[in-house]
Amino acid sequence: MKISLGLIVLAAATTLVRGADVPPAAGTPAPDFSLSSQEGTPVSLHDFKGKWVVLYFYPKDMTQGCTIEAHNFQRDLAQYQQKDAVILGVSVDSVDSHKEFCSKESLSFKLLADTNKEVTKEYGSLAANNMVAARNTFLIDPNGVIRKVYEKVKPQQHSEEVLAELGTLKR
């Protein structure tokens, strides 16, 4: 009996740990959070109630793929604003790194520093190496519900994909 109970406890613990690696599903409430932006000011998801939120996780400031993805979101920012949507980028880099990245690349949307990796984990977006964020995006509706989850995003065309989906969902 002890072995069976031990195996049950081990299986339950494994499921709980594995569950943290799984992104929240479309149709579920988006977990709220508060992280510091590149300006050093706290930004919370609930600050954007009533707006669409594109919450994107990316590996590292000033790397090729992340720069392409950020540039494309910046390029399309006016289209997002027309759709009453905000862009929030999250990585495990520091506020200072985000500030430098925004300055160097002329980014005007918020980049959020998750240096303790808690929000990244909560969104199932910590890369397998546990060092950086995986390239995942969550499209969150004005009521705080996740409407679309993108995993293993390709940076080149991602902004266009999100804009197209946002156009479909807003009809």
Catalytic site residues?
A: 66
Which domain does 145 fall in, by range?
A: 2-169
Q: What is the pLDDT of residues 44-61, one digit of tens each?
A: 999 999 999 999 999 999
Confidence class of residue 20 from pLDDT cuts 50, 70 and 90?
A: low
Tell me the average pLDDT across 138-155: 96
Among residues 132, 133, 135, the alpha carbon closest in space to that of 157 is found at 135
Domain count, the chain: 1
CATH assignment of the domain containing 14: 3.40.30.10
Average pLDDT of the chain to the nearest whole number: 89
pLDDT given at position 14: 36
The amino acid present at 34, given as its one-letter code, is S
Q: What is the pLDDT of residues 64-114, one digit of tens each?
A: 999 999 999 999 999 999 999 999 999 999 999 999 999 999 999 999 999
Among residues 143, 123, 115, 135, the alpha carbon closest in space to that of 35 is found at 115
Tell me the average pLDDT across 157-167: 95
